[in-house]
Amino acid sequence: MKLKKIIGTLTLLVFLVSCKKNANNANLIPNISFDITINTNLPSYSDLNGVGGWAYVNGAGVSGVIVYRKELNSFVAFDRRSPKDINGDCTQPLVPDTNNFLQLIDSCNNAIFSLYDGSPVSNSEYGLRQYQTIWDGSNQLRIFN
């Protein structure tokens, strides 16, 4: 009988612990479904043809998307709305720092985020909403969530 109580208690404990949410994994930016393919041969996306290049993609995500080419075959895409802007009051989307393009600046809330991986650098406990990317190896980049 005691064994059943111990097993029941352990099962309940495991269940309660597994249900605990981690606030650092939460994302405050609304999840808006989209699927867009861009051609990096177009002038507006030509900076993506070199490693370290970045470009804006309008008409996707909540406040547009910024894409960064990390490596020859590796891209990352983030929403330009800051997770620090909970109510969406800031009219200025995230922009690269003029002194360090690998950092995105939230000018309304004085927060800084990494363009490389979307993590918060300062003044935010939440990172950026990241979108999926698929590169065809030539000139087509699919961005979606």
The rounded mean pLDDT for the chain is 86
| Three-state secondary structure string covering 71-113 | ECCEEEEEECCCCCCCCCCCCCCCEECCCCCCEEEECCCCEEE
pTM for the full model? Answer: 0.81
The pLDDT tens digits for 41-82 are 999 999 999 999 999 999 999 999 999 999 999 999 999 999
| Domains delineated in the chain | 26-144 (2.102.10.10)
Q: Rounded to an integer, what distance in angstroms lies between the CA atom of residue 112 and that of residue 97?
A: 9
Q: At 2, give phi and psi (nearest 5°).
A: -65, -35
In whole angstroms, give the CA distance from residue 54 to residue 113.
15
What is the average pLDDT across 79-87?
93
Read off the pLDDT of residues 15-50 as tens digits, 9 standing for 90 and up: 444 443 333 456 788 898 999 999 999 999 999 999
Cβ within 8 Å of residue 128, ≥6 positions away: 29, 78, 79, 82, 83, 94, 104, 113, 118, 119
Residue-level pLDDT at 26: 65
* Residue in this structure with the two tokens 């000139």, named with its chain if needed: 139
Task: For residue 137, name the pLDDT band (cuts at 50, 70, 90).
Answer: very high
Residue 28 has a pLDDT of 83
9, 11, 12, 18: CA torsion to nearest 10: 140
The pair of structure tokens assigned to 37 is 């393919």
